[in-house]
Amino acid sequence: MGSEKQVERLAGILVEHSVKARKGEIVRISCGEQARPLALAVLRKVLRAGAHPLLSVGFDDAQRIFFEEAGDAQIAHMPPTKLYEAKRIDADIVIVAPGNTRALSHIPPRKLAERRKATRPISEIVLRRVRWVLTNFPTESLAQETDRSLPEYERLYYRAVEQDWGEMAGMFRRAKRILDNSARVRIVGKETDLSFSIEGRSAIPCAGEYNMPDGEIFTAPVEDSTEGKIYYEFPAIYGGREVSGIRLTFRKGKVVKASAEKNESILAEMLDADPGARVLGEFGIGANAGVTDFTRDILLDEKMGGTIHLAIGRSYPESGGRNRSAVHWDMIKDLRKEGELYLDGKPVLRTGHLFGKVLRGMRKG
């Protein structure tokens, strides 16, 4: 695992910067067994802030066993105690530390989507009223996903975490003004010419409050506005399974044609999960300079500087999005070697670099 100092710094960022724990509040610490060092460091920071910690620890194999054994009624059951908890906690620090990132790869995607549908009232309460943050604790399994040793992965991960979050927040405030005053987005690149409206939508800057590492700004496309086609250079991961070579064609806001070079059946199954799964729910721009390589972990990958990402399915209400779905699946488009991003016909991002008047505006405000 990372050095004691790195773990302490991450715990401090989560408690003091991300959720800003205050005296008398209830702060839930949700984690798996391998996250013990970070969970205990967070526990100590929460107590020092005068808040009340609520430790929620799960076993790595519990989720796998649930999906293997649960019948339809159990999949559809919404746990009332978790609903009560969501209504009472003030903050939630979620630490992901998998022992096996492919533990659910044999579970039918529709079963995973049905479970998300059943627990959606809980997640919506947390998203709406709780200050929450999601982070990783580096494990051998996460390192293997990136084809790195654990020490190499830790260097990558903590480099992404140890950014100047105040400076990034300032840059995103300026970027928000630009996006909020823009009406039309166009993305051009390899096998890609896609456009959609963001008129009337709100851009949400992300500088460490909800994810750690963070470093993106996102909004919601107008639901019936997406037109054109897109190809994704990076694979999209769902339930531990990799879907690569994805090509999507949109008409009047919906996916009308979809293909993949690997695991196309999973893509088709997710698009058919519910009516909202064929609609774009999110458009985001990655801007964390510490994330330089694809890791097969969306927490890091969607923050990669020089990339954009689009999610099919559920949109975030705070951005003005209205699309509802049990699915929210991020897919990353790489613009670092080839491609451009335009706002109202003006170039914003080309081959991974912000430039022109937009760049000067973001730097100067």
* Cα–Cα dist 217/238, whole Å: 22
Please name every residue paired with 334 in a beta bridge, in sequence order, or none if there are none: 307
Domains of the chain: 4-161 (3.40.1830.10), 178-364 (no CATH)
Question: If pLDDT is split at 50, 70 and 90, which confidence band does 24 have?
Answer: very high
Q: What is the pLDDT of residues 258-293, one digit of tens each?
A: 999 999 999 999 999 899 999 999 999 999 988 988
Residue 106 above 50 pLDDT? yes
Q: Which residues of 118-149 are buried (b: 16+ CB within 10 A; e: fewer)?
A: bbbebeebbbeebbbbbbbbbbebbbbbbebe
Residue-wise pLDDT for 126-147, tens only, equals 988 999 999 999 999 999 988 8
Question: Quick one: average pLDDT of 11-32?
Answer: 96
DSSP 304: B
**Helix or strand (DSSP H, E) at 133:** strand 131-136
Residue at 50: amino acid letter: G
pLDDT, position 357: 41
Per-residue pLDDT at 337: 86
Confidence band (pLDDT; 50, 70, 90) for 356? very low
Which of 239, 240, 209 has the alpha carbon at shortest distance from 93? 209
pLDDT at 109: 83
- What CA–CA distance (Å, rounded) separates 321 from 285? 17
Percentage of residues of the chain with pLDDT beyond 70: 95
Q: What is the structure's pLDDT at 251? A: 98
For residue 331, what pLDDT is reported? Answer: 96
**DSSP code per residue over 259-291:** E-SB-HHHHHHHHTSSGGGGBEEEEEEE-BTT-
pLDDT at position 354 is: 52
User: What amino acid is encoded at 318 in this protein?
Assistant: E
Q: What is the pTM of this model?
A: 0.80
Q: Classify strands 346-350 and 340-343 as parallel, antiparallel or unpaired.
A: antiparallel
Question: Running DSSP on this structure, what letter comes out for residue 315?
Answer: P
User: Does residue 358 carry a pLDDT above 80?
Assistant: no
